[in-house]
Amino acid sequence: MTKSSDEAEIRSFVVDRLRGLMPGARIVHELNVAGTGTNRIDVAAVTTSAIVAVEVKSKKDTLVRLDEQWPAFNRCCHFVIVAAHDKHFAEFRDPQWRDDIPSEPRLNHPIFFKRWNMERHVWRYPTPLTSRMARESFHPAKDTIRQPRAEDLLFMLWANELRDECSRHRLHSGGRATRPDMVRDMVWHMTGREIAEAVCRQLRQRTFAEADPPIYAGARQPSMFDTTLAAGAPL
């Protein structure tokens, strides 16, 4: 996929930051949220049990599509971040704030602008946010505990990947089983953790047009708590 220099610059910033925060994750570009279709995550970090999605908004983009992207990504990912250019921010000031409290820049979209605690989901580029919540920012170990909808998570996989996981978990998946059939059986018989690990296992080894090298199930699987692995080091 051809990217503008503006978008490529922000993507590079996003990838570097994800590698620093999640050294054991596989970085994937243009991850489809439903296995097929056109709704894709710009940059995803996939650990052994969680998916973090980052939507990139360069200065040439608009924020209009966030209305559909934000709920779609949250249904199937453990944490969602919007990395946006300075252009997309506006000064916010609550009428109830004291006079000595300065206004602060917030992403200029209804989902984010007036809602408290959304700074953790926003990365501003090239000027970082400076509020307390923005400084605390996204914490991989704590923020990926929330589980997305099991069905949406599983529908990120292709039929052959679902069949592989059904076999791994000893669920019947004959040659005529459809994706909905297999997803239904997996939701019924598997725990939330097993589903998250199954989806992440398949995405970590799938071949993508642009991504880190595949990480296969038999390889060493560093966790998000592994601080001894240098960012970008081979597994």
| Preceding peptide of 126 cis, ω within 30° | yes
Tally helices (H) and strands (E) across the chain: 8, 7
Q: Using CA atoms, how far apart are residues 135 and 100, in angstroms rounded to an integer?
A: 21
Average pLDDT over residues 80-104: 90
pLDDT at 1 over 80: no
Per-residue pLDDT reduced to its tens digit, 106-122? 999 999 998 888 989 99
Distance of CA 174 to the CA centre of its chain: 32
Placement of tokens 């926003």 in the chain: 122
Phi-psi region of 204 (alpha: psi -120 to 50; beta: other; left: phi over 0): alpha
Q: How far apart, in Å, do the first and last CA atoms of the chain sit?
A: 27
Distance of CA 155 to the CA centre of its chain: 15
Per-residue pLDDT reduced to its tens digit, 6-18? 899 999 999 999 9
Average pLDDT in the chain: 88
Distance of CA 223 to the CA centre of its chain: 16
What's the CA angle centered on 45, arms 148 and 164, to 5 degrees?
65
pLDDT at 156 over 60: yes
pLDDT over 90, % of the chain: 69
**What would the DSSP string read from start to end of 24-71?**
TPEEEEEEETTSSSS-EEEEEEE-SS-EEEEEEE-TT--STTHHHHHH
Average pLDDT over residues 68-86: 96
pLDDT at 131 over 60: yes
pLDDT over 70, % of the chain: 88
pLDDT at 227 over 50: no
pLDDT at 148 over 50: yes
**Are β-strands 26-32 and 40-46 bridged in parallel, bridged antiparallel, or unpaired?**
antiparallel
Per-residue pLDDT reduced to its tens digit, 162-199? 999 999 999 987 778 899 999 999 999 999 999 999 99
Q: Using CA atoms, how far apart are residues 72 and 155, in angstroms rounded to an integer?
A: 12
Per-residue pLDDT reduced to its tens digit, 22-75? 999 999 999 999 866 678 999 999 999 999 999 999 999 999 999 999 999 999
In one letter, which amino acid is 189? Answer: H
Q: Which residue has the higher pLDDT, 232 or 42?
A: 42
